[in-house]
Chain A
């Protein structure tokens, strides 16, 4: 079983749509959670951290369910510029702050 699992997609959605990505992780000791965005042939960039109570940043909402070991990212009012691969990322203290990345979910926002 992979440590971090994501649906690879692609998710093809029209502009303005709401889209949700899901992610599961296997290590119950995981303590930090993030969503990264990676544009084609570019480095990943931190989109947002994910907190236990859930958090929102503009059109983006992240949720964490520790009991189910499940993380989600919701994007509202999708823009063409949201087209990218979204990486689910977890870390735990015992791992020396090593982040483990999912393989990513590809999003394509279309006119």
Chain B
């Protein structure tokens, strides 16, 4: 069966520090991968998506970047965090359009 792993679950980082969040998927090949952010009390915002190794599409200009070094690995990074980067970061995967996404358990990031 397919599983998605995301870590860490919680992170507190100072302003200006770097960030690296990792997401891996097991049990499937060539998934579409996504990074979403959910700010407190707000909806999910798509940040990046990838349809293959090395391919990244960015949805909104921001302080973050993404990479996909392997088929089932998706990384979200920042060189210098801002207070506004705080939020709940969710990785998701899909392979068939009509079956929606499966989300990882998320990383709750607080920038202080």
- Which residues from chain A sit less than 8 Å from chain B, CB to CB? 31-32, 34, 36, 41-46, 49, 87, 89, 91, 93, 96-104
Residues 77-112 of B, flagged 1 when their CB comes within 8 A of A and 0 if not, give 000000000001010001001111111111010000
Q: Which of B32, B59, B99, B105 contacts A49 (CB 8 A)?
A: B99
Contact check, A45 vs B49: say whether CB atoms are below 8 A apart. Answer: no
Contacting residues, chain A, for B49 (C-beta < 8 A): 96, 98
Contact check, B101 vs A99: say whether CB atoms are below 8 A apart. Answer: yes
Known: A43-B105, A101-B43. A96 touches B57 (CB 8 A): yes
Contact check, B43 vs A97: say whether CB atoms are below 8 A apart. Answer: no
Known: A49-B98, A93-B97. A42 touches B105 (CB 8 A): yes
Q: How many residues of B contact A (CB 8 A)?
A: 25
10 A–B contacts, CB within 8 A, in A order: A31-B97, A41-B108, A42-B105, A43-B103, A46-B102, A98-B34, A99-B46, A99-B100, A100-B46, A101-B44
Residues of chain B from 36 to 65 with CB closer than 8 A to chain A in the complex: 36, 42-44, 46, 49, 51, 57, 59
Could you tell me the distance in whole angstroms from the C-beta of A102 to the nearest C-beta in chain B? Answer: 6
Contact check, A34 vs B100: say whether CB atoms are below 8 A apart. Answer: yes
Q: Which of A44, A97, A103 contacts B103 (CB 8 A)?
A: A44
Contact check, A43 vs B90: say whether CB atoms are below 8 A apart. Answer: yes
Contact check, A103 vs B43: say whether CB atoms are below 8 A apart. Answer: yes
Q: Can you name 20 extra interface pairs (CB under 8 A) apart from A43-B106, A97-B94? A: A31-B97, A32-B100, A34-B100, A43-B103, A43-B104, A44-B103, A45-B103, A46-B99, A49-B98, A87-B43, A91-B97, A96-B49, A97-B32, A98-B34, A98-B49, A99-B34, A99-B100, A101-B43, A102-B43, A104-B43
